[in-house]
Structures are given as structure tokens and as C-alpha cells.
Amino acid sequence: MTNALAALSSTQYYLFRFVSPVVIFLGTVGCIINLTVFTQKLLRKNTCSVYFIAYNIGNFIYIYAAPFYVTLNVGYSIDASIQYLVLCRLRFYTTVLLNCLCSFYLVMASIDRVLITSSNARTRQKSTLRMAYVCVIGGSIFWALCHSHVLFLTNIIQIIPNVFQCYSEQGIYRVFLSYYVLIKEILTLALLIMCGLRSVKNIQRSAQRIEDATGALSRSAAGGHSTHSTVARDRQLAFMLLMDILIYGLFCSTFAIFLLYQQITQYDVKSPVQIQIESIVRNLAQFAASIPVSTSFYTNMIASKTFRNEVKKVFSS
């Protein structure tokens, strides 16, 4: 057990001292470029872009509320949140809220792609800019209020002698919060998978219809090119979203698995060494959960030709 603790401690130290700063830097640059691209004239009128803009704003703030904080704490032994209760509660609230909001924006974007890729015209008409703005603004306010309890039920606690941590209060509230995050991760992943599969099915079903329509329109002057470009752009946004869903599922599931283990073993008597090991594993799971936040721009570059062209325009202008 002691050897395992030493190995995990070394892994954690080097990961957060050298690797995590690079991930944070890449994530910061990626979020800024994503926001710049999605606010360009060509894309900002697309409903999915509204969700992507909100998603990237949330990701940018989350990077500095969670991964950046853990990096300073573990890699450089800097943690102001265990000295000031107000800072502790504000940081923990921001982390929990943004973790929820980013998932919410991704789910809403997935639902929007299901609507816009539908072969039913009435279903496609439900995807509107007005609805996207209402969902983003209304959803943000709703979840901010729903998580307000975190501001009052978070404290600086001692996990082992001389080791303090900014975390939720022990007892029933911690159990509630752990189950809440676990259920949220499971539901989010399930919704993303279902919406992703549905979008793929819609795209496959409409592929022949789009091809036939494009052939007819291409023989009828300029309108055909415009329609084809819009359809192609919608499909590329759907593929970008599917990439985000895949990365989210691969990396965020690790934290859900850790939370499940934590709840199964919550009544076990644990030694100080085991508590330290679990704390390290928790940090490693949090690092894994930060990967989707930092890779969104780079997966977009792979998935979408339109996105790559818009990035070129940004840097060439």
C-alpha cells in the first residue's frame, strides 16, 4: 500500500507540475479561437453555434476554476482556498455549477442537432435562434439558482492530520452531492449517446434525399449552391458535436466511476494511507475530466472543413 501511495504521489506531482499546465494552455488557446470562429458571420446565425459559444465560455471559466486550481495545489503547493472560506465556497460553487452548465450546453446542442437533421420539416423548424438563446440564458439562470446551496454548505475540512481541503460538508450533504454528480454524469452521457446516435441515423436517412435535392438545385442557378452549403455546414456541425460527445464519454466517465466507488465504500473504515490514495485518484480523475474541455478546438479542426476555413480567415484577416 505504501509503495502504491509513493508511485501515485509521484505520478500526480509530475502530471500536475508539467503536463497539466500544457493542457491548460492548449485549452485556453482553443477556447479563445473557438469563440472567435463561432462568432463569425458565417456561423453565428446557426443555432448550434449559440450552444457552442456558451459551451466554450463555460469551458474557459471552468479551466481556471478547476484544472488550474488543482494544478496550483498539487503541482506547486499553492492553495488560497484553504485559507479563506469565502474563496473556498466561491471556487467550489463555480466548479460544480460550470461542470453542470457545460454538460447542459452540450446536451442542448445535441438535441438541436437531432432537430435540424430530421427529415420532418416541422421538426426542423423547432430549431430557432430565439429558442437557443432562451435555453442558454434561462438554463444558465436556473442551474445557477439550483446550485446556490453549495455556497453555504462548503467548508475547509481536515481530511488527515495537517492536511486541509475545500470540500462539501461531511454527512448527508456530501452523500447527496456525490450522488447528484454521479447521476448527472450518467444521465448526461446517456442523453449525449442517444442524441448522437439519433443524429447519425437522421444524417444517414437524409443523405440520399439531400443528394437528390442537391442535384436538382445545382441545375437551377445560384440558389442550389447556397442550400447545399447550408446543409453541408449543418452536417459538419453535427460531426463536430459527435466528436465532443465521444471525447466527453471517454474521459468524464472516469470521474463518475470514482464517485460510484466512493459511495460503495463510504462506510468502510479507511486508513490514512488509503484516504491519501483515494484523494490522489480523485485528482487524477478530475484531470481526465478536464481533457474534453481542452481538446474541443482541436477535434473541431479534425471534424469540420468549414471550421478549418473559418480559422484560416481569422488568422489571415
Instruction: Give the homologous superfamily in CATH for domain 2-316.
Output: Rhodopsin 7-helix transmembrane proteins (1.20.1070.10)
Is the pLDDT at 121 greater than 90, yes or no? no
pLDDT in tens, 185-194: 889 989 998 9
CB 178 within 8 A of CB 153: no
Q: What is the pLDDT of residue 208?
A: 60
Q: Any idea which of 107-121, 125-139, 260-274, 281-295 has the lowest mean pLDDT?
A: 260-274
Backbone angles phi, psi at 161, to 5 degrees: -50, 125
Residue identified by cell 447519425 is 200
- At 178, the pLDDT band (50, 70, 90 cuts) reads confident
- At 239, the pLDDT band (50, 70, 90 cuts) reads confident
Q: Can you read off the three cell numbers belonging to residue 254?
A: 472516469
Q: What is the pLDDT of residue 160?
A: 75
Give the dihedral sign, CA 173/67/295/316: positive
**135-149, 177-191, 262-276, 279-293: which is most confident:** 135-149
Q: What is the pLDDT of residue 222?
A: 47
Q: What is the pLDDT of residue 147?
A: 97
Distance between CA atoms of residues 15 and 7, nearest Å: 12
CB 127 within 8 A of CB 238: no
CB 240 within 8 A of CB 304: yes
What average pLDDT is seen over the chain?
Answer: 87
pLDDT in tens, 129-157: 999 999 999 999 999 999 999 999 999 98
pLDDT in tens, 36-80: 999 988 788 889 999 999 999 999 999 999 999 999 999 999 988
- At 159, the pLDDT band (50, 70, 90 cuts) reads confident
Q: What is the pLDDT of residue 243?
A: 87
Distance between CA atoms of residues 93 and 154, nearest Å: 8
**All residues at 6 or more sequence positions from 55 whose CB lies less than 8 Å from its CB, including other chains:** 102, 105, 106, 109, 296
Q: Can you read off the three cell numbers belonging to residue 132?
A: 437557443
Percent of the chain with pLDDT strictly greater than 70:
91
Q: What is the pLDDT of residue 235?
A: 74
Q: What is the pLDDT of residue 46?
A: 87
The 3 state secondary structure assigned to 152-213 is: CCEEEEEEECCEEEEEECCCHHHHHHHHHHHHHHHHHHHHHHHHHHHHHHHHHHHHHHHHHH
CB 279 within 8 A of CB 313: no
Mean pLDDT of 273-293: 89
Q: Can you read off the three cell numbers belonging to residue 247?
A: 471525447
Helices 2-14 & 272-303 angle (0-180, nearest 10): 40
**All residues at 6 or more sequence positions from 9 whose CB lies less than 8 Å from its CB, including other chains:** 276, 280
pLDDT in tens, 205-237: 776 665 555 555 554 544 445 555 566 667 777
Higher pLDDT, 252 or 217: 252
Domain boundaries, the chain: 2-316
Q: Can you read off the three cell numbers belonging to residue 75?
A: 503541482
Is the pLDDT at 200 greater than 50, yes or no? yes
